[in-house]
Amino acid sequence: MSELISLVLLFVPLFAVFWAANVAEGRRARGEPYEMPALAAYLLLAALYAGGVAIGLLIQLGAALFAMQPGLLAEAGITGVEEGVASLPLVGLSLWLPSLLGLVLLLPPVRRMVARLLPMDPQNPVHGVALALSMLILTNLLITLGMGLGNLADMVAEADNGRDGTALLTLWAQQILTALLAMVGVGWLTRRDLRATLARLGIVMPSARQWLIGVGLGVAMVPVVLALEYVASLVGMGASADVERLTEELLGPLFQSPFGILTLGLSAALGEETIFRGAAQPRFGLIATALLFALIHSNYGITISTLAVFLVGLLLGWVRLRHNTTTAMALHAVYNITLGLLAYLSTSMLDF
């Protein structure tokens, strides 16, 4: 329950930022004064990022203090935390650097410059906060790399994550909140009703042909990715042991039951496709969205698996462009479920 409460609290400020930005954009579209709600959205986001900068710098300061006085922890009777202390400088950097970039992206001249590269309106408060919030993905990735995939795997193993059914509930909650954030982000409850919101997100009823395209591409992409990873392993670029161990600790329990495998496919299709292909791609474009999609899978670090996710993201984005987000959801779900079934069958054969 504490994990779910923490998850909700994490999303609350994001909902508030997008709600205020959409109120401002609604007023701007009607020719009404919109500066106050826009300022509220920018200030809230700026406060979050300023906190990230401050905490990151404090962590680096503490790391420098421990480095200058290596016996400080021992004198305090604290032992067994050497690896954690060693990672503090990178963790601090992972907080303050993306937070600083997020603050920079809020500046009007910077937004205008970015708008030359991406299909966004630099005057639109929603586009502005969405651009700045993309730095949260970089924060998540850098913290993962800074702490170390192996250390994270140990932490998850010690917490016994997912073996009591919590992983299923947490994953569904995370993806449902992500989908709701995408809906609020494009104006649900402020500028658009539910029908218009789903239309903006590209969530429509696919035709039979589109269902077949989604299912067929989802199945076809599996051997392509497996072949890519196999070739990479032959040339010494395969996934590291830490990547495999962290992925196993995070997702392994879900591969052990049909409902867990369905959760891997259906929940990701709901949350990730709604926010990336539905909400983000029309503003950030195909390539930038696929890149953000790859980087949010931080459990892979920066490996050949990251490249595989990027390629899958490009295919999902192309499907969104040619058809709709729902077809991309079908592709994503089938792809994940097929990988899950293969993992389940391989484990069952080994047990046999």
CA dist., res. 203 & res. 186, Å (int) = 13
Helix (H, G, I), strand (E, B) or coil at 192: strand
Q: Is there a contact between 114 and 105 (Cβ–Cβ < 8 Å)? A: yes
- Please give the mean pLDDT across all residues of the chain: 89
- pLDDT: which is higher, 347 or 72: 347
pLDDT at 346 over 80: no
CA distance 135 to 214: 30
Contacts (Cβ under 8 Å, ≥6 apart) of 93: 56, 60, 142, 146
Residue 188's SS3 state is: strand
The whole-number pLDDT of residue 162 equals 45
Helix 149-159 × helix 241-251 angle, to 10°: 30
The predicted pLDDT at position 270 comes to 97
Residue for token digits 């966004």?
A: 120
CB atoms inside a 10 Å sphere around CB 247: 17
Q: What is the pLDDT of residue 249?
A: 77
Averaged pLDDT, 140-144: 91
CA 171, CA 253: separation in Å to the nearest integer? 12
Helices (H) and strands (E) in the chain, counts: 18, 0
d(CA 181, CA 202): 15
- Amino acid 243: pLDDT: 82
The tokens describing 249, both together, are 């600790």
Residue 119 phi, psi dihedral angles, 5° rounding: -80, 60
The label of the residue with tokens 């970089």 reads 138
Percentage of the chain modeled with pLDDT above 90: 65
pLDDT at 238 over 60: yes
Average the pLDDT over each of 172-181, 249-258, 300-309 and give the range with the smallest value. Answer: 249-258
What does the pLDDT read at residue 151?
Answer: 81
Which pLDDT score, from 0 to 100, does residue 69 have?
A: 65
DSSP 240: P
| Of 254, 278, 276, residue with least CA distance to 265 | 254
Residue 128 neighbours by CB under 8 Å, 6+ apart = 21, 42, 105, 106, 111, 122
State which amino acid sits at residue 277.
R
DSSP structure class, residue 278: I
> Is 50 exceeded by the pLDDT of residue 296?
yes
Q: What band does 79 get if pLDDT is binned at 50, 70 and 90?
A: very low
| Least confident window among 91-105, 295-309, 321-335 | 295-309
* Rounded CA separation 328/351 (Å): 35
Q: Is the pLDDT of residue 75 over 80?
A: no
Per-residue pLDDT at 276: 98
Indicate the residue type of 150. G
Which among 147, 14, 153 is positioned nearest to 92, based on CA atoms?
Answer: 147
Query: Which SS3 state, helix, strand or coil, does residue 167 take?
Result: helix
**Model pLDDT, residue 349:** 54
Q: Where in the chain are the domains?
A: 1-147, 163-352
What is the pLDDT averaged over residues 212-220?
Answer: 97
Considering 50-59, 157-166, 223-232, 340-349, the range whose residues carry the highest mean pLDDT is 50-59
- CA 290/CA 17 separation, integer angstroms: 24
What is the value of pTM for the model shown?
0.91
Task: Render pLDDT for 37-65 as a digit per residue (tens, 0 to 9).
Answer: 999 999 999 999 999 999 999 998 888 87
309, 335 contact by CB (below 8 A): no
Segment 249-265 shows an average pLDDT of 84
| Bridge partners of residue 192, in order along the sequence | 188
* Neighbour count for residue 120 (Cβ, 10 Å): 20
Banded model confidence at residue 86, pLDDT cuts 50, 70, 90:
low
How confident is the model at residue 74, as a pLDDT? 52
CA atoms 295, 298, 301, 305: torsion sign: negative
Residue with tokens 């193993």: 157
